[in-house]
Structure 1
Amino acid sequence: MEHYENFPVASFLCPPELRAPIMAIYRFARAADDIADEGDVAAELRLQDLAEIRQALALCSESSPTFLRWSEIFKPLHLEIQRHALPIHLLHQLLDAFEQDVRYTQEGRRYNNRHELLNYCERSANPIGRLLLHLYKINDPTALHESDCICSALQLINFWQDLSVDIPRGRFYLPMESDLKIEIEFTKQLMQEGQALVHRLEGCAGWELRAVVQGGLRIIDKIQTIDTHVMRPTIKAWDLPVLIWRCCFMKS
C-alpha cells in the first residue's frame, strides 16, 4: 500500500458524482506530500512552499480567488470546496502533518510513544476519511470514530511496511518506548475496531472500503512474516483470492 492509495480516485466503484471532489482532494494532498517528502530540497524551502500552499488554501474560502501558484490544483479544489462545503480545516490539518514531517526529518527527531504517533496520525490520515464521509453525507460520531481507526491504522501500516525505506532517509516512526511486534498487533486491533464502517456505506462505496480494510490487514499478515527493516511487503496477484474471500465475509 502506498501513501494515499486508499483514495478511490480512479475506481469504477466510486460514484461518478464524487469523482471530481475526491480527485481534487487527492491532488492537493499528493502535491503537498511531495513538497514535504520528495527530492533533495532543503527543509527551509519545503516549509516555505508548504506555507504558500497554506495561503492558497485559505483563499479557497473566498468567492473568486486568484491563485499565483498551483492553479491547476487550487482552481478545481476551490470549485469542489464551494460545491460540497468541504471542511477546509481538515485540509489545514494535513498541512500541519506535512510540516511536522519536514521538521522531524530535519532534526532527526523520533516519537517517544504511541500517543505522540497517533497524534500525528490524527492530522496526517484521519482528515482524509472525514472528508470522504462528508462527501457521502455521513457524520454520526460512531462512523467518524470508525473512520479515524481505519485511517490511523492505514497510516501505521505504511510506517511498518516502509521501515526499509524510511530509516535510511532519516524518518523514524517506531516509538522509542515500544517495539515493532507490539505496534503491529495494536495496528491490527485498531483496523478491526473501525472495520464495521464498511456496513454503514451503501453499495459500491462499502465494497471499496472492504477492499481497503482487507488490503491493509493482508499487508499486516506479510509484515508479521518478514523483516521490514530489509524488505518491503506488497500485495501480489496471488493475494487476490484471499482478499475477495475476506471482503465477502466481513462480519458486522
Structure 2
Amino acid sequence: MPVEHYENFPVASLLLPAHLRAPVEAVYAFARSADDVADEGDALPQDRLARLHDYRQALEACANGQAVSDPELAPMFARLGQAIRAHALPVQPLRDLLDAFMQDVGKTRYADFAELRDYCRRSADPVGRLMLALHRADSAENLRRSDAVCTSLQLINFCQDVAIDWHKARIYLPQEDMARFGVDEAQLDTLARGRSTVTGPWQSLLAFEVGRARTLMREGAPLARALPGRVGWELRLVVLGGLHILERIEAVGYDVFRHRPTLGRSDWLRLGWRALNYGKFA
C-alpha cells in the first residue's frame, strides 16, 4: 500500500503474527524514511536525490550482507538486511520504492493513466508484494491481485489528497482525464484554495477516478478470501476501508477540498465486524 498515507489502513498491527512484526516494521521504516527524504523539509532537489542515492547504495550493501558505512543509515539497513535474509525477501520491490521516491522529487504531472499506473507499480505495489513474500503466498495470481489492491489504495489517496498535493505543486490526476472532463489547473487552484465550490466538471472527473479505483479494488479483492488467518482478515479490513473511503467521497459530492474523507476508530470497529462476514462487502 502507499507509504505516504497510512492513517486509513492498518500496518504492522497486532493482527500480524509475532514473527512477522519485526520484518514488516523494518520495511515500513525504510519506506517511511526514504519517502520523507523525497517529500519533507526544505532540501533542494539535488540534495534529496543525492541522499536517496545513499539509500540505494545502502540497500544493495545490506542485501548482499555487507555493512553500511553511513552511521545514520546503518541501524535501519541492518534491520532491513536481516529481514531480507531471514525471510528471503525479494530486493526488487525495495529498489522500485526508491525509484518512485526519486521520481517524486522531480516529476509533478502525469500525462495519462498508463503513466500514473507505472508510478503506482513502483510506489504502491511493492509493499503488497513484500507482504505476500513474508507470508509465503506470492503466487502469480496473488501478486496480480495484490497489485490491483495496492494501486487502488494509491488512487484513493490521490482522490483524497488533491488539495494537499496541489499545495506541493503536484497533480496525480492524469492530465488526459482532466482535459476530457474540462478541468484545468486554474480551476483546481481555486478549488484547492477554497475560492470556489465544486462544479459539474469536477464532480464528473472525480467520479471517473473513483470508479477506476473501485474497479481495481474489486479486481483484487478475492485475494482477501484466498489468504488464511489473520493476514486474510487484515486484508479484508484494508479492502473494506478503501471501498468505504470511496463511498464517503461520493457522499460529499466529490468535494474533497472541504470534506477530506478519513476513517476513525468507530469506522474501523464497524469494518472489523464486516470483515468477519466478508462475503457481504461487495
What TM-score bracket applies, with the shorter chain setting the length?
A: over 0.9
Alignment-derived partner of residue 177 in structure 1: 176
What is the correspondence of 1:232-251 to structure 2 with a 5 Å cutoff?
232-240=260-268, 242-251=270-279
- Deviation per CA, 1:136-182, whole angstroms, max 9, x where unpaired? 00122111111000000011111111112111110100111112211
User: C-alpha separation between the residues in 1 aligned to 2:268 and 2:20?
Assistant: 26
Q: Give me the identity figure in percent.
A: 45
Unmatched tracts of structure 2, length 5 or more: 178-204
User: C-alpha separation between the residues in 2 aligned to 1:131 and 1:241?
Assistant: 27
Q: Which has the larger radius of gyration?
A: 2
Alignment-derived partner of residue 40 in structure 2: 38
Alignment-derived partner of residue 230 in structure 2: 204
1:190 equivalent among 205, 213, 216: 216
* Contact 1:153–1:190 (Cα < 8 Å) also in 2: yes
Superposed displacement of residue 250, structure 1: 2.2
* Contact 1:24–1:73 (Cα < 8 Å) also in 2: yes
Amino acid at match of 1:85: A
Aligned alpha-carbon RMSD (Å) = 1.8
User: Number of residues paired by the alignment?
Assistant: 247
3-state secondary structure, aligned to 1:139: coil
TM-score by length of 1: 0.92
Amino acid at match of 1:89: Q
- Relative to structure 1, is the Cα distance of residues 240 and 57 closer, same or farther in structure 2, using a 3 angstrom cutoff? closer
User: C-alpha separation between the residues in 1 aligned to 2:62 and 2:172?
Assistant: 33
User: C-alpha separation between the residues in 1 aligned to 2:266 and 2:126?
Assistant: 32
1:75 equivalent among 69, 73, 78: 78
Unmatched tracts of structure 1, length 5 or more: none
- Relative to structure 1, is the Cα distance of residues 30 and 240 closer, same or farther in structure 2, using a 3 angstrom cutoff? closer
TM-score by length of 2: 0.83
Superposed displacement of residue 64, structure 1: 3.6
What is the correspondence of 1:156-171 to structure 2 with a 5 Å cutoff?
156-171=155-170
User: C-alpha separation between the residues in 2 aligned to 1:4 and 1:54?
Assistant: 23
* Contact 1:4–1:30 (Cα < 8 Å) also in 2: no
1:21 equivalent among 1, 23, 35: 23
Amino acid at match of 2:82: L
User: C-alpha separation between the residues in 2 aligned to 1:38 and 1:154?
Assistant: 22
